[in-house]
Amino acid sequence: MSNRRFLGRTTFLAAMAFVLLIGALAGCAPASPMPAAEPAAPAAAEEAAAPAATGETVTVRFWNHWLAARVELIDQIIADFEQDFPNIDVENLGQPWDRREENMFAALASNDPPEVVMATRAELLKLANDGLIVPITDMVEEQGLDLEKFYPAEINNFYWEGELYSMPMPTGGGITGMILINKDMFEAAGLEPVPPQTWQELWDVGKALTVVDDKGIVQIGANVGTSATSFFGWLYTNNGQIYSDDLRSVAFNSPEGVETLQWMVDYTNEINGGVQDVLDFYVTGQEANEAQPWYNDIEAMQFPNVSIFFHMQTFKPELQWDLGQRPYNANNPDAKSQGISGEEFAWGYVIPSGVPEEKREAAFEWIKKITYEEDAAGWFMIQQSRPSPIRAVNEDPFYYEANPAWDKVLASLGNDVSVPIFPEHVRVRDIVNQAVEAAMFGDMTPEEALNDAAEQAQAILDEFWSAQE
Amino acid sequence: MTAQSAGMGRAALARPRPRIRARDLLGFVFIAPWLVSFLLFDLMPIVSGFYHSFTNWNALGIADFVGWANYREALTRDPLFWVSVNRTLYFIAGSVPLGIFAAFTLALLLNANIRGTGFYRTVYYLPSVVPTVAAVIVWIFIFETRRGILNFGLELLGLPTIQWLSDPNWAMPALIIMSLWTIGAAMIIFLAGLQGIPQELYEAAEVDGANGPQRLFGITVPLMTPTIFFNLIMGLVAAFQAFNNAFIMTAGGPRNATLLYMLHLYNNAFRYFRMGYASALAVMLFIVVFGITILVYRSSDRWVYYS
């Protein structure tokens, strides 16, 4: 008689189902938000109890993209914050830029999202519209915070349907409103080192400073851009708009829009040798690093955002530069120099809806620290020599000492307009990108390309508003 | 007939109840980690993706049933859908045959009895374990117009230089060339296959007066067809899902020249938060890859020799 022990099929299947169930539960369970060194990892809900009510430590995980030299600065703010709030523990979760959207998305989709997540304005509006982040309007009112201290164009970026979802840091403006020149290159070319003020002046100066050979661009005067972001920047210096004021229709294919794109195409073809040469020129220096043409004296002008001051300090402090307002179309009597705020990079800090209510108060305190408190949010900007969305901070004498063109930076911020966008704007921007490329590569005329894009974008707008209704 | 023997007869006639021995259970326990992982992280997402392809899910909240709308949009309204299909087929047509040919050729060379074979095998496999981002940065410099090594070679041959990454006509060939960077894994498989070919066959052929090419095409290639078949399937599946290089190096440009299908899917999923639509794209990709795999598998009767 065999002494082998047998297991019935039913028993086996039940055992496997049990194993799977345990696995599934383990997979779905929230990760312990407490640091490993903590004596025990209480359940999320218990652990999340309001700090004031229970005296327990609440962990606020801060999902952000302040990397490199900024990590240390953030850590200093955290240390300062934790002194004021000994029962709130802030974890600095600095995230790499690579696959930023995917990682943020995965973090939000988990059932244990970080308590505070850094997101662009376009993302914030999308998340707000879908009810995936919580408004902070009530918390701001309860604490009596004075939102007037921000530039209107900055704080206005973070409202959706009358509710406020974040306060700004850094500025969403100061992205497109300036032109930076390399004074040494101007002088070497026999030009007065003064930033051009109009499209027409830019054309002349750009032509004088650009060198193209049979392999492409050797030295560039200015790249007026080959993307939607560049187009939008120039559009507003020609008195154009992306959308109508009520956000019900697209407006970028207006006569001003067509004229703007035509000018960009003409400039790129006639001065820079065509879009292909321009793309090729920037192949190895797209990100902020010392390989960029700007840091190698082969780019005479550029249209930077305010982070450039920090990068210039890091990569080439000896660079001789000057600053002006972004050139406008002098042939259009209604046009003026102005930048746009909130179209692409206006950063906010949001509390995901998945964060337990008991933890939101702690999350808001941290958001307030890094956006509203001048000794933290303002200090962080000063350390990077970039302007703050808080007006008073920008009057700090340090700025005037560190940046000889500080008054021009502030003038640029003052000229910025907060561009109205809707939650599906990223899709529209990509559609306009396609149009700009189509015109640049000569597959369509600027008018055809923009009209085609407008038709697609309008369909998205209509679909969005009909879903809202 | 006794009652006992009658009972035994009935038992013998009855359908045997399937039983699992304890020692068999041990086997299941060993594969349980994989099984659990497969069910949770492969099968569940596949089923979930299929379901969500019929919704307007944004992956975080809303998921209304929209029927075939996502599929209709892809096939009739999304201008970039067919562009990405076209670009992906181009990539597959270039990278898969080239990859198999290059890996097979390398394996043949490394199968030769020469000094330092182990070293060469390691060197050729090494790129397969280099992180993608690092590899892409190296390749950007290789493709650079003025200082890149490829253009340097072209100039030596008296040929005009190419703007590899900014010319829409050359960006995809650049990606295909770069795909050769990771042929090390296929090469190792070919090498294992080559070493499994009985030496007597070559000796017999030599006795019969077969020369090198005759031995290669009369013995090596036919006996390697199962390995070629395996690498072909793996190569096809990988090429359909190619993403990293295009994402990091060209982001789909210039002028959509490298807008691979997975890149388009990624944009919809993670930039536009349109996970329902992205799921529909994923389901269509699955169906196409599955169909092509079946076709290739069926065709194997005609060209794959197992003995």
Query: What average pLDDT does this structure show over B152-176?
Result: 95
Provide the 3-class DSSP secondary structure of residue B299: helix
Determine phi and psi for A198, rounding to 5 degrees. -130, 165
Determine phi and psi for A92, rounding to 5 degrees. -85, 100
For the sheet containing A321-325, what is the strand order?
A301-302, A178-182, A321-325
Please name the CATH architecture into which domain A52-172+344-409 falls: 3-Layer(aba) Sandwich (3.40)
Q: Which two tokens stand for residue B128?
A: 């397969």
In this prediction the ipTM stands at: 0.82
Tokens 């206006």 sit on residue: A346
Q: Per residue in A45-97, pLDDT tens?
A: 334 444 545 568 999 999 999 988 889 999 999 999 999 999 999 999 999 88
A38's CB contacts (< 8 A; 6+ apart) are A57
Mutate which of A102, A283, A460 to test chain B, going by most B C-beta atoms within 10 A? A283
Tokens 């296959």 sit on residue: B193
Chain B interface includes A6 (CB < 8 A): yes
Burial of B60 (0-12, 13-18, 19+ CB in 10 A): buried
Which among A279, A283, A434 has CB closest to B144?
Answer: A283
- Dist CA A445 CA A386 (whole Å): 39
Whether residue B7 has pLDDT greater than 60: no
Q: Do B59 and A101 touch (CB under 8 A)?
A: no
Q: Do B60 and A7 touch (CB under 8 A)?
A: no
- Dist CA A201 CA A57 (whole Å): 60
Query: What average pLDDT does this structure show over A9-28?
Result: 53
- Dist CA A435 CA B205 (whole Å): 63
Q: Per residue in A370-397, pLDDT tens?
A: 999 999 999 999 988 889 999 999 999 9
More confident residue, A337 or A53: A337
Asked, colleague to colleague, whether A52-172+344-409 and A178-338+424-468 share their fold, the answer is yes
Q: Which domains does chain B have, with CATH numbers?
A: 68-128+182-303 (1.10.3720.10)
Q: Per residue in A197-234, pLDDT tens?
A: 999 999 999 999 999 998 899 999 999 999 999 999 99
Q: Which two tokens stand for residue B143?
A: 């493709």
Whether residue A26 has pLDDT greater than 50: no
Q: B150, B163, B141: which is closest to A213 by C-alpha?
A: B163
Q: Do B255 and A441 touch (CB under 8 A)?
A: yes
More confident residue, A225 or A30: A225
Handedness of CA A440, A443, A446, A449 (dihedral sign): negative
Helix, strand, coil percentages, rounded to 5, for chain A: 50, 15, 40
Whether residue B143 has pLDDT greater than 70: yes
Query: What average pLDDT does this structure show over B254-273?
Result: 94
| Per-residue model confidence (pLDDT) at position B1 | 42
pLDDT interval class at B19 (50, 70, 90): low
Q: Do B22 and A4 touch (CB under 8 A)?
A: yes
Chain B residues whose beta carbon lies within 8 Å of the beta carbon of residue A132: 58, 60-61
Q: Is CATH 3.30.365.10 the classification given to domain A178-338+424-468?
A: no
Whether the Cβ atoms of residue A200 and residue A194 lie closer than 8 Å to each other? no
- Dist CA B218 CA B210 (whole Å): 9
Q: A95, A230, A287: which is closest to B249 by C-alpha?
A: A287
Query: What average pLDDT does this structure show over B107-122?
Result: 86
- Dist CA A372 CA A149 (whole Å): 9
Chain B residues whose beta carbon lies within 8 Å of the beta carbon of residue A215: 145-146, 161
Domain ranges of chain A: 52-172+344-409, 178-338+424-468
Q: Per residue in B46-63, pLDDT tens?
A: 999 999 999 998 877 778
Query: Which of residues 106 through 125 in chain B touch A, CB cutoff 8 A?
Result: none
Average pLDDT, chain A: 87
- Dist CA B59 CA B62 (whole Å): 8
Chain A interface includes B256 (CB < 8 A): yes
Share of chain A above pLDDT 90, in %: 65
- Dist CA B270 CA A101 (whole Å): 6
Whether residue A403 has pLDDT greater than 70: yes
Whether residue A32 has pLDDT greater than 80: no
| Per-residue model confidence (pLDDT) at position A453 | 97
CA angle centred on A311, ends A310 and A314, rounded to 5°: 95
More confident residue, B112 or B20: B112
| Per-residue model confidence (pLDDT) at position A8 | 56
| Per-residue model confidence (pLDDT) at position B17 | 62
Whether residue A137 has pLDDT greater than 90: yes
| Per-residue model confidence (pLDDT) at position A16 | 55
Query: What average pLDDT does this structure show over B121-142?
Result: 88
Whether residue A4 has pLDDT greater than 50: no
Which of A290-304, A337-351, B65-79 ranks highest by mean pLDDT? B65-79
| Per-residue model confidence (pLDDT) at position B18 | 62
| Per-residue model confidence (pLDDT) at position A27 | 43
Whether residue A7 has pLDDT greater than 80: no
Chain A interface includes B279 (CB < 8 A): no
Query: Which of residues 211 through 250 in chain B touch A, CB cutoff 8 A?
Result: 247-248
Burial of B185 (0-12, 13-18, 19+ CB in 10 A): middle
Following DSSP, what letter does each residue of A359-372 receive, concatenated? HHHHHHHHHHHHHT
Query: What average pLDDT does this structure show over B83-110?
Result: 96
Distances (CA, A) of A194 to A185, A191, A225, A399: 11, 8, 21, 22
Average pLDDT, chain B: 90
More confident residue, B18 or A406: A406
Q: Per residue in B219-262, pLDDT tens?
A: 999 999 999 999 999 999 999 999 999 998 998 989 999 999 99
**Rounded to the nearest 10 degrees, what angle do helices A121-129 and A425-440 cross at?**
140
Chain B residues whose beta carbon lies within 8 Å of the beta carbon of residue A438: 255
Q: Do B248 and A19 touch (CB under 8 A)?
A: no
Whether residue B2 has pLDDT greater than 80: no
| Per-residue model confidence (pLDDT) at position A97 | 83
Whether residue A360 has pLDDT greater than 50: yes
CA A55 from centre of chain: 36
pLDDT interval class at A105 (50, 70, 90): confident
Size of interface A-B (CB pairs under 8 A): 116
Distances (CA, A) of A42 to A57, A296, B221: 11, 54, 63
Residue B158 identity (one-letter amino acid)? G
Determine phi and psi for B26, rounding to 5 degrees. -55, -40
Q: B165: nearest CA in chain A?
A: A280
Distance from CA of B250 to the nearest CA of A (A): 9
Q: Per residue in A232-272, pLDDT tens?
A: 999 999 999 999 999 999 999 999 999 999 999 999 999 99
